[in-house]
Amino acid sequence: MTVQINFDSTWQNEFLHRIEEDGPWGSWELYKLALEVENHTIIPEFEGLQAPKHLSSLVPLPHQLEVAKQVVENMNGKAILADEVGLGKTIEAGLILKEYMIRGLVKKVLILVPASLVTQWAIELNSKFFIPAIAQRKSYVWEQCDVVVSSIDTAKRNPHKDIIYNQDYDLVIIDEAHKLKNNKTKNYEFVQNLKKKFCLLLTATPIQNRISEIFNLVSLLKPGHLGNEADFYQKYQKDSRSLDDNEYLKELVNKVMIRNRRADTGIEWTKRNVETLPIEFSKEERELYEAVTNLRGDGSWISSSQFSVMTLQREACSSREAVFFTLRNMLQKKEEPTKEFQEQIQSLIMKVEAVQRNAKAEKALELIQQINDKVIIFTEYRATQMYLQWFLKQHGITSVPFRGGFKRGKKDWMRELFQKNAQVLIATEAGGEGINLQFCNHIINFDLPWNPMRLEQRIGRIHRLGQEKDVNIYNFAIKDTVEEHVLKLLYEKIHLFEKVIGDLDDILTKLDFGNIDDHLIDIFGRSSSEGEMRIKMDNLTSMIQFAEEMKAGEVNAATGNSALS
Amino acid sequence: MQQQEIQHFLERYFHANNCEMIESGTGYLTVQLTIELDKQLMNRPFYWHYLEKTGGIPNPMQLTMITNPEAAPKTLKGETIHFGSPRLHQIFESTKKLAGYIRLYEKHQNTFGQQTPLRPWLGMNVRISYQCDRKRDVFRSIGLQLINGQMVDGFHGKLLELELTPKIPDYSFTLSPLIMPKSGMIRIQHFLQNEIEKEDHTWAEEATTRWQKDLNLLEHFYEEMEEKEESYEIEKIALKEQYEPRINISIINGGLFYLTEDAFQRSIGS
């Protein structure tokens, strides 16, 4: 095969000119330096990365190097990185960014990540990759700095948006890109309108093999590659999951998406020790719980809303403060409350006031003192969070609160306080996402979320790459309550706690059976007897088990690139 | 390039450009730029244009660079330089630009009173880039003696063993070339092209196969459209740019070298 050879002749003309003019001639030292530079910037092989040679303080894992190599060599810098949680997607993105910078192909970079991770991204790029990334704080940063990290919520708002639209980005990196699956959203529109040469979409949630998701994400990376939307959907029904059957689509997805599973990486993970601690209510706590439970049989105001009863039951398992908070809200929100309503609430509040101890809190205190190391407590309720902070302080234990609603700076500050000054971090549910706490290896689940995915996210905060110790998880469950049911029937049956993060999201996405929360509300809220509850629960768990088996079968059958399983 | 190599490189670069080193320590350096370097690096053409028009006193800037933020003083303000940073790329480019053309003479130790003839050589350092959706570079340094047409591969490496000077040494004279530099360059160009054509180009065939596969995929998504949209053509061109195999030869630098007759024999023997 003959290949076209282009010979750059500009040098020659200038050289002849200089001979005629007798100069000017360069210095020997600079001449030699220029060739040394050449030596450093030359890319000696078609395959392989340059970046790792220049990063003395980083030893990337084999699967991370492989991802970076794939993206640079085979995907032309347009890719969805969909590794399971905790495999180091940040490192992969950093490697790719560095590689392109070294090759002189990328200069202007925009990195959009969740607000709570902005600072961490900037720090990691600076310290591990020597990339002077700036966390966006002032609006002039967009124009003046080459590598900017920001949250998408800030970036998509004016005045920022207009400035950003005027920039030509060489590379755009988007973390948590599963939020871009829907092309009707503001976020999608914003990313679509960015001027970008290369683009990396990072997501831990696998593409659910839904045609519309594929169309939308691929269209962000390669606009126009799939033809127009209407024709595409005509050909492949919008909500169909026939992806597996279509060779073209399969090939396409393999061209733009890489997914590593924990099992494929061959990394030794630290162990997970899970201990369930059954706890007895105190007498007054039990009375409160029973009172709340009995509301259901009343046929009165509250039973129309099963959810409220469930909520109150779960809150009663957490703290009296949580119950009180909800009751007060109910009273305030009700327009023209009947006398009966007010009396009922009042009687419940009396029961709340009668409670003097919190059995779980006492257990937590005992455990924390015994562990004598850093501990994270997760609770679903803010009222419980505040109570616990007060309670621990009474017993000389320092703690910091953490909530999803905190501003970025405050999150960073709290994380730092926890690392350096406090023994305990008390986080509410929303605080579970987007914070990495590998320096801690004990978690207390003060109350359990009903969605197993959320539980995974909690554990994923500490059980990730960089965790050097075994991880200890303590689950609190009050005996003979709805809480114990959830724990026993759901979590223990599907062996949730023994699994590593990520397996579960695969399992759950495979099941197209809707929101797990809804199932649980149905089971616990609408069952008229214990027996019915048990049967429904069995159905649910066997569905999950079925999906698991399905998945195991696929893994065995899979060959080569498993991105689509 | 590790961070301390970058520091060392920067020191040599500024030294070679006659910039005064104001301060330097572990992980950082501050230099006073010369007018020429200010113009090359600081990107302020209006300032220099204004100055030249008004005849003011030029005030080139100082530049502080940090190669290791951990080791440099905490309060120091400057640019962080890393391998891959645009500033370092700019300095790399500037190095090549400043030293694109050279003329040097061998500083020989021949005895007094004896006139030594120096033979003209044309030296060219080139980068051959094999490009498709991937890229590979090969560095070649070729020297051509402009009297007898002898060609030497790895020319730069051999030059490094000689002592060279920009001024013609005493008791020396240069021989006139029989081959003109212009035709010398053509000889080198032909030599390289001939060699490349003889190489195995499986890489290009493989790239063409990958290209065709991607084209088929694209075709599939558009096959049922009667009138193909503009985006189809755009995608097609993008694929061509990405995959089409080509070889680019660019010249990094080169020049004229006047060397003694036995320059290379001696260096090999010693």
Q: Report chain A residues whose CB lies below 8 A from the CB of B106.
A: none
Model confidence at A534: pLDDT above 80: no
Last residue of a domain, one of A330, A354, A378: A354
Model confidence at A108: pLDDT above 50: yes
Residue B266's pLDDT band (boundaries 50, 70, 90)?
low
Residues 6+ apart with CB under 8 A from A260: A63, A67, A83, A84, A87
Taking CB atoms and an 8 Å limit, are A3 and B247 in contact across chains? yes
**Cβ atoms within 10 Å of A183's Cβ, excluding its own:** 17
More confident residue, A138 or A289: A289
Taking CB atoms and an 8 Å limit, are B232 and A235 in contact across chains? no
What's the rounded Cα separation, in Å, for the pair A79 and A74? 10
Same domain, A141 and A261: yes
What's the rounded Cα separation, in Å, for the pair B147 and B161? 22
Work out the minimum CA distance from A334 to partner chain B, whole angstroms. Answer: 56
Same domain, A175 and A79: yes
Same domain, A193 and A314: no
Model confidence at A78: pLDDT above 50: yes
Residues 6+ apart with CB under 8 A from A372: none
Phi and psi at residue A385, in whole multiples of 5°?
-55, -45
Of B139, B182, B249, Cβ closest to residue A8: B249
Question: Omega into A159 within 30° of 0, i.e. cis?
Answer: yes
Is residue A19, in this structure, part of any structural domain at all?
Answer: no
Same domain, A381 and A348: no
The pLDDT, as a whole number, for residue A414 is: 86
Work out the minimum CA distance from B145 to partner chain A, whole angstroms. Answer: 17
The pLDDT, as a whole number, for residue A234 is: 75
Taking CB atoms and an 8 Å limit, are A14 and B208 in contact across chains? no
- Among A29, A33, A70, the residue to mutate for chain B (most B Cβ within 10 A): A33
Is residue A394, in this structure, part of any structural domain at all?
Answer: yes
Residue B204's pLDDT band (boundaries 50, 70, 90)?
very high
Last residue of a domain, one of A207, A230, A265: A265
Q: Domains of chain B: which residue ranges?
A: 3-98, 105-201+246-269, 205-243
Residue in chain A closest to B224 (alpha carbons) equals A231
Mean pLDDT, all residues of chain A: 81
Count of residues making up chain A: 565
**Which range marks the domain in which residue A396 is found?**
273-278+359-557
Report the share of chain B in percent with pLDDT over 70.
97
Model confidence at B189: pLDDT above 60: yes
State the ipTM, two decimals: 0.90
Taking only the tens place, the pLDDT of each residue in B59-104 is: 899 999 998 888 888 888 888 888 878 889 889 989 998 999 999 9
Same domain, A124 and A154: yes
Q: Report chain A residues whose CB lies below 8 A from the CB of B164.
A: 28
Question: Which residue in the block uniquely carries the two structure tokens 């779960």?
Answer: A314
Residue A390's pLDDT band (boundaries 50, 70, 90)?
very high
More confident residue, A548 or A242: A548
Taking only the tens place, the pLDDT of each residue in A247-276 is: 777 777 788 888 887 777 766 677 888 888
Taking CB atoms and an 8 Å limit, are A11 and B100 in contact across chains? yes
Same domain, A245 and A122: yes
Residues 6+ apart with CB under 8 A from A531: none
Instruction: Tell me the CATH number at A517.
Output: 3.40.50.300
Of A27, A40, A235, Cβ closest to residue B99: A27
Is residue A392, in this structure, part of any structural domain at all?
Answer: yes
Q: Report chain A residues whose CB lies below 8 A from the CB of B83.
A: 40, 54, 102, 130
More confident residue, A435 or B80: B80
Same domain, A227 and A328: no
What's the rounded Cα separation, in Å, for the pair A322 and A361? 13
- The answer to whether the CB of B119 falls within 8 A of the CB of B145 is yes
Is residue A192, in this structure, part of any structural domain at all?
Answer: yes
Collapsing DSSP states into helix, strand and coil, what is residue A278?
strand
Phi and psi at residue A391, in whole multiples of 5°?
-60, -45
Same domain, A331 and A392: no
Same domain, A336 and A391: no
Give whichever of A72-81, B135-144, B232-241 has the largest mean pLDDT.
B135-144
Tell me whether residue B107 is exposed, middle or buried, using C-beta atoms within 10 angstroms of its C-beta: 0 to 12, 13 to 18, 19 or more: middle
Same domain, A315 and A198: no
Least confident of A22-31, A111-120, A231-240: A231-240
Taking only the tens place, the pLDDT of each residue in B96-131 is: 989 999 999 998 877 667 888 999 999 999 999 998
Taking CB atoms and an 8 Å limit, are B82 and A131 in contact across chains? yes
Taking only the tens place, the pLDDT of each residue in A179-195 is: 888 888 889 989 988 88
Least confident of A60-74, A192-206, B71-85, B219-233: B219-233
Of B1, B127, B221, Cβ closest to residue A38: B127
Q: Report chain B residues whose CB lies below 8 A from the CB of A131.
A: 82, 84-85
The first and second tokens of residue A371, run together, are: 């562990």
Average pLDDT, integer, range A163-170: 89
Give whichever of A100-109, A369-378, A491-500, B73-82 has the largest mean pLDDT.
A369-378
DSSP state of A243: G
Is residue A187, in this structure, part of any structural domain at all?
Answer: yes
- The answer to whether the CB of A358 falls within 8 A of the CB of A320 is yes
DSSP state of B28: E
**Cβ atoms within 10 Å of A275's Cβ, excluding its own:** 10
Residue in chain B closest to A222 (alpha carbons) equals B235
Is residue A458, in this structure, part of any structural domain at all?
Answer: yes
Domains in chain A, number: 3
Q: Report chain A residues whose CB lies below 8 A from the CB of B232.
A: 224, 227
The pLDDT, as a whole number, for residue B105 is: 95
Same domain, A67 and A165: yes
Last residue of a domain, one of A265, A297, A313: A265
Same domain, A233 and A347: no
Work out the minimum CA distance from A442 to partner chain B, whole angstroms. Answer: 32
What's the rounded Cα separation, in Å, for the pair B210 and B188? 33
Residue in chain B closest to A53 (alpha carbons) equals B1
Average pLDDT, integer, range A107-131: 88
Taking only the tens place, the pLDDT of each residue in B229-250 is: 777 887 788 788 888 999 999 9
Is residue A7, in this structure, part of any structural domain at all?
Answer: no
Report the share of chain A in percent with pLDDT over 70.
82
Is residue A32, in this structure, part of any structural domain at all?
Answer: no
Taking only the tens place, the pLDDT of each residue in A268-286 is: 677 888 888 889 999 999 9
Burial B176-196 (b: 16+ CB within 10 A, else e): ebebebeebbebbbeebeeeb
Of B96, B104, B166, Cβ closest to residue A34: B96
Least confident of A83-92, A341-350, B227-236: B227-236
Q: Report chain B residues whose CB lies below 8 A from the CB of A146.
A: 86
